[in-house]
Amino acid sequence: MTETRAPNTLTPSSPAVAPGVAGAVAPDTLLRVDNLVKHFEIRGGLLGMSRVGAVKAVDGVSFSVRRGEALGLVGESGCGKTTLGKVILRLLPATSGRVEMDGQVLFDIPARGEPRRRPVYASNEAMKKVRQNMQVVFQDPYASLNPRMSVGELVGEGPLVHGMTDKKEREALVRDMLGRVGLNQSHIHRYPHEFSGGQRQRIGIARALALHPAFIVCDEPVSALDVSIQSQVLNLLNDLQAELGLTYLFIAHNLAVVEHISDRVGVMYLGKLVEMANVDDIYANPRHPYTVALLSAVPEPDPHRRKKRIILKGDIPSPANPPSGCRFHTRCWLREQLGRPERCTTEEPVLRALGSGQESACHFAEEISPEAVASAVASSGPTVTAEP
Amino acid sequence: MATTRGAQEALLEVVDLRTHFATADGLVRAVDGVSLRIRPGKTLGVVGESGCGKSITALSIMRLIERPGRIVSGSITFDGQDLLRLPEDEMRNIRGNEISMIFQEPMTSLNPVYTCGDQIAEAVSRHGSLTQREAAARAVEMLEQVGIPDAKRRAGEHPHQLSGGMRQRVMIAMALSTNPQLLIADEPTTALDVTIQAQILELMKALRERNGMAIMLITHDLGVVAEMSDDVSVMYAGKVVESSDAITVYDRPHHPYTKGLLASIPRMGARRERLDVIKGVVPNPLNLPSGCLFKRRCPYAMPICDNAPPLRLVAEGHVSRCWLAPDGGRPELGEAPSAAEAEAAALTLTVANP
Amino acid sequence: MASSESIRSGAAGPTSTSTDTDEVDLVAVQTYWQLVRRRFLRNRTAVIGLVLLAFLVFSAIVFPMVGGDAWYRTSLVHHPTDPVSIDAPLGYDNLGRNIFFRLTKGLQTSLIIGFFAVLIITLIGTTFGSISGYAGGLVDNVMMRVVDIVLSLPGFFLILMLVAFIGGIVPPMMVIIIAIGITGWTTAARLVRAEFLRLRESDFVQAAKALGASDSRIIIRHMVPSAMAPVLVAATLGIADAVVTEAALSFLGYGIRDPDASLGNMLTAAQDYFYRQPLWIYYPGITLILVVLAASFVGDGLRDALDPRQKLEA
């Protein structure tokens, strides 16, 4: 089902991987994230000088993205997926961790408890080069376009900032980009407010593409769009990826959308990556109880398939005060089934390989079986019987 | 299943409702020819994209349309009486007692300065003759019924102290405190996370079973509709374009918009290389095309589509607002043919002539 | 109009194969400011305010020019009891000065004070607020406490004190402008700071950052233009405030003094003749009210036209 995507040979701006630069990094790794932490401090006291607490938005996430693939990142609100994207893009400063993009270290900040060393940041010049190679598409097509700038200025801003000062050359590029994203080239002088949501999102995509990046962070790119428009934009993103050999980090909460676009999928819960696998594996055979529940909770657009589902108890805990041990233990159905083992509340599980490239951060991932899931469904309270 | 429609008396019947808004930019026909029927104890899913008029339809039924909006024409028959002809005080009685409504963002409909318990108690005592103490006890009981743990303590909390899912439960408790016959739920789970949405949908199903109430479920999520609804009405640009029972709409959609919508959504476990798309964009409400509102995006568009199509009967209990629907059968929309139908019939003739 | 515009834009090139765009072609090309103008012009009160303000400004420029020294030239020939004429539509005052020209000169003085005071307010406020908002953190915190301190000073007495201190050195008009300017900038500073804090997190600023745009480009190209909208509204409303403050100062005798004319000192002078010449109080009084009303109407109209919460529909 998953097609292997063409290697990234079409993108002019992506240099060949410099051998030896990244050491252990596999040659086809474009982005590597190591133990990334982002805490938002809650400050109080006079002039906000004292630290009262911290929202642990991202709390030790590691993964890598291969050149040419689309990595999906799913999770519910407060799981830190959007923050993760912004920290990788250096739109937010990281608390600690290391991010390396195409051989260039963006930052490397030691974590608390690690031996002390100087944090490393890419220089402004180096960062500017990286930005050319790493772009972003935002969720809200209304807020992400400056209302005072024309389409031409919006899409041409990147090239201008990176030294394409010739107006004619820039306009030609903008027209090319508009054509690529399916917008009418004659609309170059129009303003964002004249367009519908879907068209605005195309403008946002054109703006990201204008720098010929190899890597694009798509932060919920379709969730603000109407249902009938979402598929247009999803197809466009797919086409562009095939055409230009793009690499995506695709952040979304809609599991069906993520399944559609991704080669691999990571599931986040309260600032942690709890499962990571190839798209087909994770949807067919989830190996973390949270993933199982998440997949089970999605209502399917088919009245014949009204299913009984696992209903998780309670709310998502606050990321300012996450549960001890496994963060999911307060709502975990598997823990209940196993008779509430002590380990879940005391020991924090790490993401571990389960064979076939699937990784799960559950102490008892091996216990997940169709029978276990079925019995969890059965114990999930009263459900209305499905219609024939 | 499909054949029972029509035979059964409707709890709520909306015929050719039109609600227009006179804005500075021009007249917006937010609802322009909506006909719906909700059977007692059954759930009608109203699906449509943003701006299609589904929320305005709900507010019209509740008669909560405020200036510059106005219900221009149509009838809304609930339990035998036309709501649009009712004096305001009788309508107030129906609102809350007979028909309750819950919204997408419960925070906007809960008063931040009162505790949840007080607000439910007020709703209870406003519609019944209970002492304060009884009302307070009933409030706690309601909170328990909607699955709020530690209900007694929660009753003393203010809305901002609760999570989104809990607030929606409080809203539901409030809406159901008077045992309404009809619950109008406007995007009740859109602001919630998937796992919390599952909780709320499950709760609504259980309460529906127990109270035997009908639900008008308004949403853009085709999954939620499939999950919950007995009947489905699809809206587009202020009009109902297709109505039938849920199975029929999902299995044998007739209207090109419904077909397009169902084909375009990504589905789990059914990965495709490309999604089908509905081309184009939703028309600007200030600049609607003449004739069929979907024609610019429709793969089947033909010359006749320059005339507005009437709702036509496709099969028993299945209507579609499309010229592709078989001619002949007059859509069954209540007792007497409405003005819109007369107009539609006339149109059919004029089209047939040249 | 819309159709002709769209024909022009449609003719610019062969339409692409994408059918996604046809809806856009139905509306005319409009820049953001054209859109704001259109919404402003649709607001009847705002347009009335604008016309009134234009008329007042016109009067304040043209009539003093036409009248020459008529506004302060005393005369033994003319008396308050003289019948009104083309030369003196509002008659003459107790010193035989032409009241009409004196009134327009006074209006000129008041408007100049209003304009320049607001200019100072806006300059100080915008600079202070933008630095505070862009820097954030401790800098922001300290700067905002400074604002709190300035705000907690009783403004009017501060102005009186300033007038007393520098009144002898600087011309009276300058004194008032400076006094109003350096006490009134706090509101503008708070507005700009709030806007900057909001804009810093806004998606389009983040997008510019992601494109690699420099800080200066982000501030000048993206943040300042967006933050200026509320400042513009505040400045327009501020003109009314400044004119009233001037009138109050002059009325108390600390502002513009006879023989110079301002709306305030004309009011003061008219006090003494309240029973014999009641109209003398109405002339500057009504003019003052008109200035305040016109500025408020325009300010409110601008606020509505610039409001980002309003849907930017064409």
For C135-146, what is each residue's pLDDT tens digit? 888 889 899 999
Mean pLDDT of C29-50: 85
Q: Provide, rounded to the nearest whole percent, the portion of chain B with pLDDT above 90.
A: 41
CA distances from B271 to A3, A296, B266 (A): 11, 17, 7
Q: Does B279 touch chain C (CB under 8 A)?
A: yes
Question: Diameter of chain C by CA atoms?
Answer: 84
pLDDT computed for residue C308 by the predictor: 55
pTM of the predicted model as reported, rounded to 2 decimal places: 0.82
- Band the pLDDT of C25: cuts 50, 70, 90: low
Beta strands across the sheet bearing A264-269: A134-137, A215-219, A247-252, A70-74, A264-269, A272-278, A359-360, A352-353
Contact flag B24-C26 (C-beta cutoff 8 Å): no
Nearest-angstrom CA–CA distance, A331 and B165: 15
E strand map for chain A: 29-44, 50-66, 70-74, 96-101, 104-109, 120-121, 134-137, 215-219, 247-252, 264-269, 272-278, 352-353, 359-360
pLDDT computed for residue A68 by the predictor: 93
Q: Is the pLDDT of residue B93 over 80?
A: yes
Contact flag B24-C313 (C-beta cutoff 8 Å): no
Mean pLDDT of A146-169: 92
Mean pLDDT of B101-113: 83
Rounded to the nearest 10 degrees, how much is the dihedral formed by the CA atoms of A9, A15, A20, A24?
-60
Mean pLDDT of A88-100: 94
Nearest-angstrom CA–CA distance, B104 and B88: 26
Contact flag A260-B250 (C-beta cutoff 8 Å): no
pLDDT computed for residue A158 by the predictor: 94
Q: Which residue has the tokens 């129009």?
A: A190
CA distances from B310 to B232, B292, B314 (A): 18, 9, 12
What is the distance of C-alpha A129 from the center of its chain?
A: 22
pLDDT computed for residue C26 by the predictor: 60
Nearest-angstrom CA–CA distance, B77 and B99: 12
Nearest-angstrom CA–CA distance, A31 and A48: 36
Residue-wise pLDDT for C171-211, tens only, equals 888 888 888 888 888 888 999 999 999 898 899 999 999 99
Mean pLDDT of A365-388: 70
- Band the pLDDT of A383: cuts 50, 70, 90: very low
Minimal CA separation from C20 to chain A, in Å: 7
Which one has a higher pLDDT value, C235 or A25?
C235
pLDDT computed for residue C67 by the predictor: 79
Chain A residues 77-96 within an 8 A CB cutoff of chain C: 86, 89, 91
The answer to whether the CB of B258 falls within 8 A of the CB of B232 is no
The answer to whether the CB of C103 falls within 8 A of the CB of C70 is no
What is the distance of C-alpha B55 from the center of its chain?
A: 7
Residue-wise pLDDT for C2-22, tens only, equals 333 333 333 333 333 344 445
pLDDT computed for residue C175 by the predictor: 85
- Which residues 6+ apart lie within 8 Å of A87 measured at CB? A36, A38, A58, A93, A94, A99
pLDDT computed for residue B342 by the predictor: 45
Contact flag B277-A253 (C-beta cutoff 8 Å): no
SS3 A73: strand
> Using alpha carbons only, how large is chain C's radius of gyration in Å?
25
At position A141, the amino acid (one-letter code) is P
The answer to whether the CB of C96 falls within 8 A of the CB of C74 is yes
Q: Does C148 touch chain B (CB under 8 A)?
A: no
Q: Is A86 exposed, middle or buried (0-12, 13-18, 19+ CB in 10 A)?
A: buried
Q: Does C312 touch chain B (CB under 8 A)?
A: no
Which H or E run contains B27?
strand B26-38
Nearest CB to A299 within list B50, B227, B273: B227
pLDDT computed for residue C14 by the predictor: 33
Nearest-angstrom CA–CA distance, B205 and B228: 7
CA distances from A334 to A293, A312, A330, A381 (A): 10, 11, 11, 16
**Could you tell me the two tokens for B237?**
């640009």
pLDDT computed for residue A104 by the predictor: 93
Minimal CA separation from C56 to chain B, in Å: 30
Which H or E run contains B312?
strand B312-315
pLDDT computed for residue C108 by the predictor: 92
The answer to whether the CB of C129 falls within 8 A of the CB of C192 is yes
Nearest-angstrom CA–CA distance, A335 and C241: 67
Q: Is the pLDDT of residue C313 over 70?
A: no
Contact flag C22-B283 (C-beta cutoff 8 Å): no
Residue-wise pLDDT for A361-371, tens only, equals 999 998 888 88
- Band the pLDDT of B351: cuts 50, 70, 90: very low
Which one has a higher pLDDT value, A375 or B327?
A375
pLDDT computed for residue C293 by the predictor: 92
Nearest-angstrom CA–CA distance, A41 and A112: 15
pLDDT computed for residue A47 by the predictor: 62
Contact residues on chain C for B284, CB-CB shorter than 8 A: 23, 26-27
pLDDT computed for residue C56 by the predictor: 93
- Which residues 6+ apart lie within 8 Å of C312 measured at CB? A147, A193, C35
Chain A residues 290-349 within an 8 A CB cutoff of chain B: 293-306, 309, 311-312, 314-316, 331
Mean pLDDT of C83-112: 84
Q: Is the pLDDT of residue A8 over 50?
A: no
Q: Does B50 touch chain C (CB under 8 A)?
A: no
Question: Diameter of chain B by CA atoms?
Answer: 73
Which one has a higher pLDDT value, B259 or B67?
B259
Average pLDDT over chain C, rounded to an integer: 81
pLDDT computed for residue B239 by the predictor: 93
The chain C residue lying nearest A189, using CA atoms, is: C29
Strand pairing report for A70-74 and A264-269 = parallel
Minimal CA separation from C114 to chain A, in Å: 29
pLDDT computed for residue C250 by the predictor: 83
- Band the pLDDT of B4: cuts 50, 70, 90: very low
pLDDT computed for residue C227 by the predictor: 86
Chain A residues 167-226 within an 8 A CB cutoff of chain B: 196, 198-199, 226
The answer to whether the CB of A175 falls within 8 A of the CB of A188 is yes
At position B315, the amino acid (one-letter code) is A
pLDDT computed for residue C22 by the predictor: 54
SS3 A9: coil
pLDDT computed for residue C193 by the predictor: 92
Angle at A289 between CA A283 and CA A295, to 5 degrees: 35
Residue-wise pLDDT for A237-268, tens only, equals 999 999 999 999 999 999 999 999 999 999 99
Q: Is B223 exposed, middle or buried (0-12, 13-18, 19+ CB in 10 A)?
A: buried
- Band the pLDDT of C64: cuts 50, 70, 90: confident
Q: Does B296 touch chain C (CB under 8 A)?
A: yes
Residue-wise pLDDT for B10-44, tens only, equals 899 999 999 999 887 788 999 998 999 999 999 99
The answer to whether the CB of B149 falls within 8 A of the CB of B165 is no
pLDDT computed for residue C163 by the predictor: 78
- Band the pLDDT of B261: cuts 50, 70, 90: very high
In this predicted structure, which of B126-130, B163-167, C261-265, C309-313 has the lowest mean pLDDT? Answer: C309-313
Mean pLDDT of C53-59: 93
Q: Where are the alpha helices (DSSP H) in A18-88?
A: 81-88
Mean pLDDT of B332-344: 45
**Could you tell me the two tokens for A46?**
């006079």
Residue-wise pLDDT for B204-252, tens only, equals 998 898 889 999 999 999 999 999 999 999 999 999 999 999 999 999 9
HEC profile for A171-187?
HHHHHHHHHHCCCCHHH
- Chains touching A (at least 3 CB pairs under 8 A) are B, C
Nearest-angstrom CA–CA distance, B203 and A291: 22
Contact residues on chain C for A213, CB-CB shorter than 8 A: none
The answer to whether the CB of C177 falls within 8 A of the CB of C167 is no
